[in-house]
Amino acid sequence: MDAEELIESIIRGLMFLAGILGNNWLAIRSLPRTISVIRTSEVLFINLAVSNLITNFLVDLPDTMADFAGRWFLGETYCGVFRFCADLSETSSIFTTFFISAFWHQKLVGSLKRGGAPVRMDSLRLVACLLAAGWTVAVVFSIPHFFFVTVEATNESEEDCVDYFPDAAAGRTYEILYLTLANALPLAGIVSVSVQIVITLLKNQQRIRSHKSEAPREAVKDKDSDAKTNDRRPAGTGPEAGPGPEAEPSPGHSKDPHIYTGVPGSSGPNTPCHTSNHSNNTGGNHGDQPSSSKPVQVSAKPNPSTQVRAAKSVVAVASVFLVCWLTHLLLRITNNIHTSSLVVEVASYIAASYTCIIPYIFLYGVKKLSCSCKR
């Protein structure tokens, strides 16, 4: 093994170790405390970690060992397993990344525009069906690699595990279908969802800035109206004569019943968590009589900042995904036109780099990159 091959093998080994650490970390940190409280994000992250670990253990590790050995020494039987697992994990990882992007886009819109309302992908049954469909597509496209493979001598003493289709037209047809359905379409979906996330974040940022610019002007108007009210107040009246216009409302009620204070089921810090019919609270019985409506258990709203952080991590992953898989897709198309072992090797390195980078981005996005045992 010359110096160039040694450097390539060391780089591949470091990528393998980074992928093993990151994906195991993502899987462990995504494990729910109890089965009854499992969430969609945890299911998706665990599925992504499992898909990438198949690549790490069954593809990257044998490939790294073959690089150090200088030839493929695992036999033709494992060559079929190697090629099968490579496309299986690759396809599953792509579809899972697309599902994660769609989920966090829905959560972001639900948090910023609909006050944290439940989204469609909160349903574990729907997510399970989507993941099952993704694995089914991955298996269908990976089965031919288990049979149409061979150990080919590349140089005088080197051997490599490569795909071998008896019919060139069949091989090209398979490549076209695989690249279109299992690569190009999910890639387009991830890019589309990421663009929508960026647009939503920009609109929300613009809305926040407009509210901040309007706040000082509203404060000045309130001061002017208070001054005019004090000037028109009759003699002998004052703060000691009774509650004026600035009197604090009773606990649990705001000055304007139509103003949303941000706390579900209440308008003040001391209000019990129940709902009441405002149209029935006429007269002076505010807060004295219990509401006739049935108490409703209100769940805590998700923190918008958490959704924004996770959505930004999705955009970061989409950027890495676009660079890696677009390059990978172009290399596969190039290899389909003109077969080259170098192109196949570069494509495998790009796929390995993706699986060892994205776990850390997702861990950072959901604030689980630390070693703390608290989740």
Under the banding of pLDDT at 50, 70 and 90, the label for residue 128 is very high
Q: Domain ranges in the chain?
A: 3-206+301-365
Residue 283 has pLDDT above 80, yes or no: no
Give residue 206's pLDDT: 85
- At 75-116, the pLDDT tens digits run 888 999 999 998 999 899 999 999 999 998 888 887 777 676
- At 285-313, the pLDDT tens digits run 444 444 444 444 334 445 567 777 777 88
The residue among 112, 14, 70 whose CA lies nearest residue 357 is 14
Model-level pTM? 0.71
pLDDT-wise least confident of 67-76, 187-196, 305-314: 305-314
What's the mean pLDDT in 265-281? 41
User: What's the per-residue H, E or C state across the chain?
Assistant: CCHHHHHHHHHHHHHHHHHHHHHHHHHHHCCCCCHHHCCHHHHHHHHHHHHHHHHHHHHHHHHHHHHHHCCCCCHHHHHHHHHHHHHHHHHHHHHHHHHHHHHHHHHHHHHHCCCCCCCHHHCHHHHHHHHHHHHHHHHHHHHHHHHCEEEEECCCCCEEEEECCCCHHHHHHHHHHHHHHHHHHHHHHHHHHHHHHHHHHHHHHHHHHHHHHHHHHHHHHHHHHHHHHHHHCCCCCCHHHCCCCCCCCCCCCCCCCCCCCCCCCCCCCCCCCCCCCHHHCCCCCCCCCCCCCCCCCCCCCCCHHHHHHHHHHHHHHHHHHHHHHHHHHHHHHHHHHCCCHHHHHHHHHHHHHHHHHHHHHHHHHCCCCCCCCCC
What's the mean pLDDT in 64-71? 82
- At 14-62, the pLDDT tens digits run 888 999 999 999 999 999 888 778 899 999 999 999 999 999 999 889 8
Are the CB atoms for 126 and 112 separated by under 8 Å?
Answer: no
pLDDT-wise least confident of 63-72, 227-236, 336-345, 365-374: 227-236
Compare 41 and 347 and report the one with higher pLDDT: 41
What's the mean pLDDT in 3-13? 80
Mean pLDDT of the chain: 75
Residue 2 has pLDDT above 90, yes or no: no
User: Considering the chain, what percentage of its residues have pLDDT values greater than 90?
Assistant: 21
Distance CA 246, CA 255 (A): 9
**Range 3-206+301-365 classified under CATH 2.170.120.12:** no
